[in-house]
Amino acid sequence: MNSLRIEEHPVLSFERGEKITFFFNGREIDAYPNETIAAALHASGVRKLGESPVLHRPRGLFCAIGNCSSCFMIVDNQPNMRVCVMKVKSGMHVEEQKGKGELELIVEN
Amino acid sequence: MIKNVEIMVIGGGPAGLCAALSASDLGVGISAPDLGVGISAPDLGVGISAPDLGVGVLLVERDDVAGGQLVKQTHKFFGSEKQYAGDRGIHIGQMLVEKAQADSNIEIWTDSTVLGIYEDGVVTVLHEDKHIKVKPERIIIATGAAEKFLAFPGNDLPGIYGAGAVQTLMNVAGVKPAERVLMVGAGNIGLIVSYQLKQAGIDVVAVIEGQPKIGGYLVHASKIRRAGIPVLTRHTILEAYGNGRVEGALITEIDESWLPIPGTERKIVCDTICLAVGLSPLTELAWQAGCEMGFIRELSGHVPIFDENLETTCPGIYCAGDVCGIEEASSAMVEGRLAGINAAASLGYGVSEAEKFRKDAMIELEELRSGDMGGHIRVGLEKMYARCKK
Ligand SMILES: Cc1cc2nc3c(=O)[nH]c(=O)nc-3n(C[C@H](O)[C@H](O)[C@H](O)COP(=O)(O)OP(=O)(O)OC[C@H]3O[C@@H](n4cnc5c(N)ncnc54)[C@H](O)[C@@H]3O)c2cc1C
């Protein structure tokens, strides 16, 4: 679904670099370094990022500046990640978050 | 370990960048290493190198690049030459960021979120996945604003975005966020983003606006007209529909009291609804710090109460830009500069030049706000100063 990437633009040019891949709900998806997880998902036509806690209504992106919490997803087992500002990395596992998600306790010594 | 800084700027948009630059211009940071005096080495822990003892200006930005709203604005700006009018927003942002990066008195932390401002003057920051404490002598809050939401059935469906989000997807990431868009709001943002959607090859079905006339500048409105996008004034959205995602919207005409006129409803088929219905100042940190807050409609809602120096009711905490009243990048830059000058001067830097710089900035702000479009800001500020004197 490369057509969702803007190739020609009257003002901007996009230097994307080498293609990488990551996993969304177990499915391998193309991305470019330096883009956010939300941008990479949108480029693949994915707009549903999770489900609301009680009514399980689908949730998508809203503010894209790390402010509104609508885009919370599970990234490499960590819930509540703001994928609108978090950069995609090669091999990363991103999953839809259903509800509030459970925090993994990290104990540092 | 606590990091000592003279001036901490929260937010790296045009206001924050200009605040950092002007404070540095007045000399903040040049004597920074002295700041370590009075802190005994054991307090700092082992292995802390000397440069960590203190820094002149620390600018903290939540995003991975500084620039604030400017990073996605591909259109040319208005204003006077002093505020780089005629240049595109993205270029102004880049220029300010490069200047700040080249300035050795300014340390920039990106990907870092300020979490809280506490009674003892400590500010906590999430920086490189660590919780860090900073002790600044002065704070400038320049956190900008966030897009407003609208209440209507179906407003939580994927495919309903703030106009800024759509701008970020297409202008920063180069990703088409939509095929067919309904834009809600014909202020400058709604008009500009509609035009930018067109530039990215995306269809804008219509721009709807509740007011009887278009709120944005005529130039932007004309561009929209030329692009063949209908602007429907006195219209609002009743609901969004779709199965798991936006498939369309129900819109209606409204009367003078904003009530739907029965029989005028119609369906718009679209996969995206973009809300451009104004911004709210991001004031959480000001609230939390204990600044006195006031609701001033003309400044777009709750804002910290501030004086002519942009100092809030918490001594040593200043504010600048959209966070203390939604305006424009041009005025945000000048306000930032003013806050930077005042914070630096209050620490004893450049006192002899400060007065002149301060006057220049005040005059520039007055010029920027002198036109028709500045009317509500003038009223808002009058209310602000009246409250502040009390
Ligand atoms: C579509 C559009 C078109 C516009 N066109 C024009 C125009 O033509 N001319 C013009 O003059 N103006 C224009 N503006 C307005 C202008 O962009 C804003 O007024 C200006 O960016 C405000 O600057 P600021 O520095 O106050 O806030 P912002 O630019 O919003 O920057 C605030 C920064 O603070 C950061 N931040 C927030 N909270 C925290 C925290 N807790 N910790 C760390 N960082 C934080 C944010 O990530 C952000 O980068 C336009 C705006 C939009 C959306």
> In this predicted structure, what is the pLDDT of residue B390?
67
Which of B146, B175, B201 lies at the smallest CB-CB distance from A65?
B146
A2 lies in a domain?
Answer: no
Residue segments in chain A with a per-residue pLDDT below the cut of 50 = 1
Closest-CA residue of chain A to B163: A63
> Atom 20, ligand 1: which residue's CA is nearest?
B329
| CATH fold for the domain made of B2-146+279-389 | FAD/NAD(P)-binding domain (3.50.50)
The ipTM (two decimal places) reads: 0.92
* Percent of chain B surpassing pLDDT 70: 92
Residue B235 has pLDDT above 60, yes or no: yes
A11 lies in a domain?
Answer: no
Task: Give the range of the structural domain holding residue A73, as residue numbers without chain letter.
Answer: 18-98
Across B290-295, average pLDDT: 97
Q: Using CA atoms, how far apart are residues B106 and B138, in angstroms rounded to an integer?
A: 14
Q: Using CA atoms, how far apart are residues B285 and B16, in angstroms rounded to an integer?
A: 15
Q: Is B175 on the interface with A (CB under 8 A)?
A: yes
> In this predicted structure, what is the pLDDT of residue B41?
34
Q: Using CA atoms, how far apart are residues B365 and B26, in angstroms rounded to an integer?
A: 20
A76 lies in a domain?
Answer: yes
Residue B87 has pLDDT above 90, yes or no: no
Across B4-10, average pLDDT: 97
> In this predicted structure, what is the pLDDT of residue B36?
41
Class of domain B149-275: alpha beta
Matching fold, domains B2-146+279-389 and B149-275: yes
| CA B68 to ligand 1 centroid distance, Å | 5
Residue B51 has pLDDT above 60, yes or no: no
Assign residue A61 the CATH number of its domain.
3.10.20.440
> In this predicted structure, what is the pLDDT of residue B31?
53
Please tell me which residue, B38 or B374, carries the higher pLDDT value. B374
Contacts of residue B69, Cβ cutoff 8 Å, sequence gap at least 6 = B13, B14, B89, B144, B164, B322, B329
For the residues of B281-341, what is the DSSP string, one character each? E--HHHHHHT--EEEEGGGTEEEE-B-TT-BBSSTTEEE-GGGGS---HHHHHHHHHHHHH
**CB-based contact B133:B122 (threshold 8 Å):** yes
